[in-house]
A and B are shown apart, each in its own frame.
Chain A
């Protein structure tokens, strides 16, 4: 039985909690607050902190029988380059080859890229995005508007709301990723649908696929899916189809 330390974004809380319970290995999960991709430097520091802690040793090490985790699994995509530069002192890290959590929810980077091309202008919804993030929609709009008026005055508020909405006007679709293992998809579906209605987006639903996360949490590390980062090495963006690499390996030939 492998001892796996999993560091994951809270946006994947339900998916990872579910898969961790089904894993054939020991899993120890730390969830990190959702939204840090907006401030990649903070995300980076926070992940490095968690990785350093995991390197201190296995918490149930009786009489030095099992001093360490076997792997640290970093359940993050590149996430605005928030993971580049991080390294693990003594233990190997396993990191999915992904731009962001949408790949992890859809099951493969290839499927994400296909959908990214087929359905341009899609804003994605999932359990975590709905529960653990403030999604665009009527409530967010009216609340922000009120806050801006209070803080900056009517005229500036109008301008800020216009800026705030501008990218939303460019989006066309609300894509809801549903995992069949969950019992309350109707709730998430209707939340995504009502946001879509408010923003005049088309709604569509795609089934998620747990395989990528499932493989990782069961110690099945496939080269196409994950990068194994040896102790001391740093994660870097590869700027190609592999998405990530080990620093020093991404030089142009």
Chain B
């Protein structure tokens, strides 16, 4: 098939409305960057699930980081993603402005070097992420053990996507199919969705991140729905194996254990987090204490948005009081959150005269 044929098929679909949830922020971002919504029938709704680890991280987590950064001879190491997220009083960007010591890294391994070079400083690494990033933290710990680095600790907020998908399948009957996350699947393997597909009788299609790959996956989903199928289909086979990355999975087993966790905007999901095992406690910067439940801000529809019941445009706060600079709800705090992405990329496509 040619890509144009795929697009034509999806464009002219006029069957019953279909809801497809993607749970990967990079998919959401790619859907907007490629303008995919403008290329397919309005009856095919692509909705954004809880695919941004930053968005579902509780405010108290940020508070711990900002407090730490402001102590003498302390330094917070983080990915850029976390910088703009509001805690209960301020974001890391704001903490930095009042003297907080915060460094942005793109790799956890850079933290090791930093800690070795400045032994008098206590470092805390904001270890957020999903299954893709977790094994990298395991390698980092491994190296910390070998190099006997003692002035660096991990403050984890690591979520796992399969329990979250299971929660959504259980709670939300109106989602017809899932676009499974490409890079999480590299670690977890295609097999991790089989039980869900069987139990809930829904297609789970693993896709890459190019526009063509997403379109092809949506096409596959439409095909499965049309013929009443509910298969796990790996359409990112160049990177995703049936059993995933077994070395990485073994490392996760070695260093982490599952526990229940709070997802901002959703609540507690069973076994949805990875926590350092007891024997690695000395490397843990206090990860276990952010278990409180938070009230959602009044009027905020993030829960409905994360669960695919509403699109960001349907929230009364969206673009009125809730903007990226003054984020009210969790989905707006990160540029990868459903609302953040909608704010940046959408709104103008709807009334464009579309010509090929």
A, B co-complexed: no
Q: A residues touching B (Cβ–Cβ < 8 Å)? A: none
